[in-house]
């Protein structure tokens, strides 16, 4: 069996917004990329909200998209969820610090600050975690300002064909909203191997008829890459 035949029998469906999907594809080990066919089918389109947010106090970023659709930092303080968001904020000129890997971890740390602090959470319209509400309840005045919208997209024709085929299909899922969009459109027969970034991401797809469902040990790109590699190895060696 040739390498090309192997690739045709193992598809990788990438559902993040295109830039994020392309970056994830390039971050995968070469060995993994040589064994799968990438299918780019973003299920969420990021739409910037054309307004200048009225920022008060310290900023909170819970996603890279929040950073990319916000003003430059110019040295202002930002507290961030996850390494990728923190790196993006630093690159955008924010004095950024990583505070946990999840919104809940960030809230726990910031809520415990001894001095009352003002925060502005720059996020998408569809935000999870109730960061502003929970921090305000802890005594830290916090506003949430939406700087982008997330529009749900349909599968591309290539994705639809892959789901309807008999070839194994790997599907990394990075957010609950993307997982829900996938679940609402999934009606094919391909053996589906789903990989969820967290338990929250796994919830919308647990009801589906999947061949395997993996939940990452931590909500990071590195653990997702490791999980994809393990599933690819399991399928190709199995």
- pLDDT tens-digit readout, 62-71: 999 999 999 9
pLDDT at 5: 43
pLDDT band at 94 (very low <50, low <70, confident <90, very high): very high
Q: Which whole-number Å values give the CA distances from 40 to 23, 116, 162, in the listed order?
A: 12, 45, 11
pLDDT at 50: 86
Main-chain phi, psi angles of 167, to 5 degrees: -85, 140
Short-list 150, 157, 158, CA closest to 179: 150
Instruction: State the average pLDDT over residues 146-175.
Output: 96
CATH topology assigned to domain 46-150: Rossmann fold (3.40.50)
**Could you tell me what percent of the chain has a pLDDT over 70?**
96
Q: Is the dihedral of CA 43, 49, 54, 55 positive or negative?
A: positive
> 3-12 burial by CB neighbour count: b if 16+ within 10 A, else e?
eeeebebbbb
| Angle of CA points 70, 152, 102, to nearest 5° | 55
Instruction: State the average pLDDT over residues 111-132.
Output: 93
In this structure, how many other beta carbons lie within 10 angstroms of the beta carbon of residue 21? 21
**Could you tell me what percent of the chain has a pLDDT over 90?**
87
Chain-centroid distance of CA 50 in Å reads 23
Taking the C-alpha atoms of residue 208 and residue 229, their distance in angstroms, rounded to an integer, is 22
pLDDT at 10 over 50: yes
Taking the C-alpha atoms of residue 219 and residue 63, their distance in angstroms, rounded to an integer, is 12
Instruction: State the average pLDDT over residues 105-129.
Output: 94
CATH topology assigned to domain 3-43+156-237: Rossmann fold (3.40.50)
157 exposure class (CB count in 10 Å sphere: 0-12, 13-18, 19+):
exposed
Domain ranges in the chain are 3-43+156-237, 46-150
Instruction: State the average pLDDT over residues 91-107.
Output: 95
- pLDDT tens-digit readout, 180-235: 999 999 988 999 999 999 998 999 999 999 999 999 999 899 999 999 999 999 99
pLDDT band at 138 (very low <50, low <70, confident <90, very high): very high
Maximum separation of any 2 CA atoms in the chain, in Å: 65
Instruction: State the average pLDDT over residues 111-133.
Output: 93
pLDDT at 130: 92
pLDDT at 51: 85
- 3-43+156-237 matches 46-150 in fold: yes
Q: For strand 58-61 and strand 11-14, is the pairing parallel, antiparallel, or unpaired?
A: unpaired
pLDDT at 3 over 70: no
For the chain, the average pLDDT equals 93
Helix and strand numbers, DSSP H then E, in the chain: 11, 11
Main-chain phi, psi angles of 7, to 5 degrees: -65, -40
pLDDT at 238: 67
Taking the C-alpha atoms of residue 234 and residue 231, their distance in angstroms, rounded to an integer, is 5
| Angle of CA points 178, 183, 186, to nearest 5° | 120
């Amino acid at each position: 069996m040739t390498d090309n035949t192997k690739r045709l029998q193992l598809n990788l469906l990438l559902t993040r917004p295109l830039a994020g999907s392309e970056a994830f594809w390039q971050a995968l080990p070469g060995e993994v990329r040589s064994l799968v066919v990438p299918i780019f089918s973003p299920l969420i389109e990021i739409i910037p909200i054309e307004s200048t947010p009225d920022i008060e106090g310290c900023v909170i970023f819970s996603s890279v998209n929040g950073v990319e659709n916000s003003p430059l930092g110019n040295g202002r303080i930002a507290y961030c969820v996850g390494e990728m968001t923190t790196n993006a904020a630093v690159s955008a000129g924010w004095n950024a610090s990583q505070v946990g890997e999840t919104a809940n971890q960030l809230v726990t740390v910031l809520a415990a600050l001894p001095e009352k602090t003002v925060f502005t959470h720059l996020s998408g319209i569809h935000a999870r975690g109730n960061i502003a509400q929970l921090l305000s309840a802890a005594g830290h005045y916090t506003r949430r300002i939406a700087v982008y919208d997330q529009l749900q997209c349909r599968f591309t024709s290539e994705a639809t064909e892959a789901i309807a085929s008999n070839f194994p299909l790997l599907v990394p899922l990075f957010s609950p909203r993307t997982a829900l969009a996938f679940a609402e459109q999934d009606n094919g027969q391909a053996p589906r191997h789903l990989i969820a970034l967290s338990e929250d991401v796994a919830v919308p797809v647990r009801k589906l008829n999947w061949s395997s469902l993996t939940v990452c040990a931590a909500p990071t790109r590195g653990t997702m890459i490791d999980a994809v590699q393990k599933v690819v190895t399991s399928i190709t060696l199995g």
